[in-house]
Amino acid sequence: MIEFDEQAKKLVIKLVYYGPALSGKTTNLLTLHDQLCNEGRGDLMVLDTVDDRTIFFDLLPLFYHSPSGFRIKLKVFTVPGQVRHDATRKAVLQRADGVVFVADSQKGEMGNNAESFANLEKNLAIVGLDIERLPLVIQFNKRDLPDVISETEVRNTWGKTGLHLVMASALKGSGIVETYSSIVAMVFDSLDARLGLNERFGVERADFLNSITKVMA
């Protein structure tokens, strides 16, 4: 599903932050935008619905240039959590190369998390993406709040899936870069296996990850 132009040596990677309403997807991207280095970072663009809930972000985008002249552009989006915007969620998911599912750690939100994840599975199938093969990171956000499910409970429940889990607080800035770095690394490994980014185009994994996930000093 990637945008890949072999002759032009250009690749566009698309990441999508998904999850229930008010789980912290917006705050994730705002905090990430603040924490990443300015070099190669584009503008943060926002499109809102009439009720001021975010439809999607086009975060950055970040650019990477390998010594061989291969260019990689990374775009990061998020989707609305409200059910009535499901068509928009499907549209944003199309051609995604990796997904971060942002769950709400509050005890009263476990049902909404499960419902939203089931919606993600359904919509991925609709747009032709295989959840078993797609790079996917689960972030449990809002760990700074008092009434949250314990990390042990999270890992006992979600650890069985084999998916990568990150504990985070978007408001406090913890776990945000870790989440982003994890999904970027997984996507790179997936694309390298398919396209031979290192062998054919000289894109070094460490160089790419260091460049695209560099944070403010």
Per-residue pLDDT of the chain (217 residues; tens, 9 = 90+): 568 999 888 999 999 999 998 899 988 988 888 888 766 666 676 666 555 455 555 455 678 888 889 999 988 888 876 666 788 889 889 999 999 999 999 999 999 999 999 999 999 999 999 999 999 999 999 999 999 999 999 999 888 889 999 999 999 999 999 999 999 999 999 999 999 999 999 999 999 999 889 887 6
- Domain extent, residue 199, equals 3-212
Residue 136 lies in a domain: yes
Helix, coil or strand: residue 155: helix
Residue 60 lies in a domain: yes
CATH number of domain containing 103: 3.40.50.300
- DSSP H or E segment with residue 12: strand 10-18
Residue 217 lies in a domain: no
- Write the DSSP symbol of residue 34: H
> How many structural domains does the chain have?
1
Residue 129 lies in a domain: yes
Give Cβ neighbours of residue 194 (< 8 Å, ≥ 6 apart): none
- DSSP H or E segment with residue 200: helix 197-201
